[in-house]
Amino acid sequence: MKQVTVYSTKNCPYCRMVKAFLDRNGVKFATIDVGEDVDAAKRMVALSGQRGVPVITVGDEVIVGFDSQRLTELFGTARAGDVYDVLISGAGPAGLTAAVYCARKLLKTAIISENIGGQALQSWAIENYMGYRMITGEDLMKKFEEQVRELNIHFELDSIVSITKNNGLFTVKTAGEWTFLAWSLILAQGNRPKNLGVAGEERFLGRGLSICSTCDGPLYRGKKVAVVGGGNSALQTAVEMSGIATSVSLIVRSSLRADEAYITMLRSKPGITVHMPAWITALQGDQFLTGITIRNDNGTEQTISIDGLFVEIGWRPNTGMLKDLVTLNERGEVAIDLNCHTNVPGIFAAGDVTSVKNKQIIIAAGEGAKAALEAHEYVMRNKKAE
């Protein structure tokens, strides 16, 4: 067996998922915390060309990020074509809650997801979830996951590439080239980060540009960073990074849209410079990002020297793999009724991927419970008819 090493940081949820995947497949590996070990971080960057985690080495091969398809090719094992009562797409607050409710109804349940925790993992601190005065997104999702792991639920870290329906059963195919069959589906795959829309964005991703501050933040200790966005996530990231980086520039296109609590915290941090209204027009650097150019309403441009840029400008529905399977609204969200039904019998949806207006963890969890109860009723009715 080739030597496997995982370069990670303490609070990186994707690093944790890599380790969970390797553990589940019986793969022995070494782990190096590059958030604590500066020399190891330099070695990782030299080895991978990345200033982001996780980075996995398998012998001489370097794998960047939680690449479930490649890891499956190397270490996964084929799954038999079992038929599930419910297959859940996504393992955020909605998907995990749905799984618990399905298991309690004794439904044969499977979850397929690229990650465990979804968008909630990006939260440095959550102060509005009942039962906790304050908890990090990662810690809250760990508690969700622990409860699911205690139940008889099949968990697959993979991404869905297609869904079809034939003879009353749904056929789900994954990037890892596995096929699953199910009587019903719950779509709970949440959102994906929006793109910045600036030339060179893809080239600098992982090389100074990050969409996961909880993952990559420790790698910028003692460096200059910028955060772009004006919502809760952007302000929270700016505040947290002010305790890690030497300077923080917050780039806000129009106005602050965050809760007053976050605005108050922002104003209490003298090390954060707010540029508002302003937007990024260019990224500078060769191998790594070294600066950004911003423009204000008057057309005046300014170049800011930075080592890292954290993009917190919002999210878009993760519905690309659905194609024409279900009806989407004008924002690309899955259209549902009050009971989480889509326009296709047997397909239900919950959480941030849906047309439900407010995107909150507690709302997503409640919607996941509703979707599971509706799926149970559907499965019992249709299996009896068979």
Per-residue pLDDT of the chain (386 residues), as tens digits, is 799 999 999 888 788 889 988 987 899 999 999 999 999 999 999 999 999 999 999 999 999 998 877 888 898 765 556 899 999 999 999 999 999 999 999 999 999 998 888 888 878 788 889 999 999 888 999 999 999 989 989 988 888 999 999 888 999 998 878 899 999 999 999 999 899 999 989 999 999 999 988 889 999 999 999 999 999 999 999 999 999 999 999 999 999 999 999 999 999 998 999 999 999 999 999 999 999 999 999 999 999 999 999 999 989 999 999 989 999 999 999 999 999 999 999 999 999 999 999 999 999 999 999 999 999 999 999 987 66
Q: How far apart are CA 181 and CA 53, in angstroms?
A: 34
Closest residue by Cα to residue 350 from 147, 85, 95: 95
The total number of residues shown for the chain amounts to 386
Q: How far apart are CA 241 and CA 246, in angstroms?
A: 9
Q: E strand or H helix at 301, and its extent?
A: strand 301-305
Contact indicator for 107, 127 with CB cutoff of 8 Å: no
The end-to-end CA distance of the chain, in Å, is 48
Bridge partner residues of 274 (DSSP): 250
Q: CA neighbours within 13 Å on the CB side: how many for 370?
A: 19
Residue found by looking up tokens 């992982």 in the block: 206
Q: How far apart are CA 28 and CA 36, in angstroms?
A: 22
For the stretch 286-294, contacts whose Cβ atoms lie closer than 8 Å and that sit 24 or more positions apart, written own/partner, are 287/49, 287/207, 288/51, 288/204, 288/207, 288/208, 289/204, 289/207, 289/208, 289/209, 290/208, 292/226, 292/251, 294/251
The CATH code of domain 201-311 reads 3.50.50.60
Contact indicator for 232, 259 with CB cutoff of 8 Å: yes
Distance of CA 28 to the CA centre of its chain: 26
Q: Which residues are catalytic?
A: 212, 215-216
Alpha carbon separation from 224 to 38, 39, 159, 161 (Å, rounded): 16, 19, 35, 39
Contact indicator for 293, 282 with CB cutoff of 8 Å: yes
Q: How far apart are CA 15 and CA 67, in angstroms?
A: 11
Portions of the chain given CATH number 3.50.50.60: 83-193+315-385, 201-311
Bridge partner residues of 275 (DSSP): 251
The verdict on pTM exceeding 0.75 is yes
CATH superfamily of 4-75: Glutaredoxin (3.40.30.10)
Residue found by looking up tokens 């393992």 in the block: 91
Q: E strand or H helix at 182, and its extent?
A: strand 179-187
Portions of the chain given CATH number 3.40.30.10: 4-75
Torsion of CA 201, 118, 351, 105, to 10 degrees: 150
> Is 83-193+315-385 in CATH node 2.10.77.10?
no
Alpha carbon separation from 225 to 37, 113, 209, 237, 309 (Å, rounded): 20, 31, 10, 11, 6
| Phi then psi dihedrals of residue 369, to 5 deg | -65, -45
Q: Is the dihedral of CA 64, 68, 74, 75 positive or negative?
A: positive
Q: How far apart are CA 356 and CA 386, in angstroms?
A: 33
Q: How far apart are CA 275 and CA 312, in angstroms?
A: 15
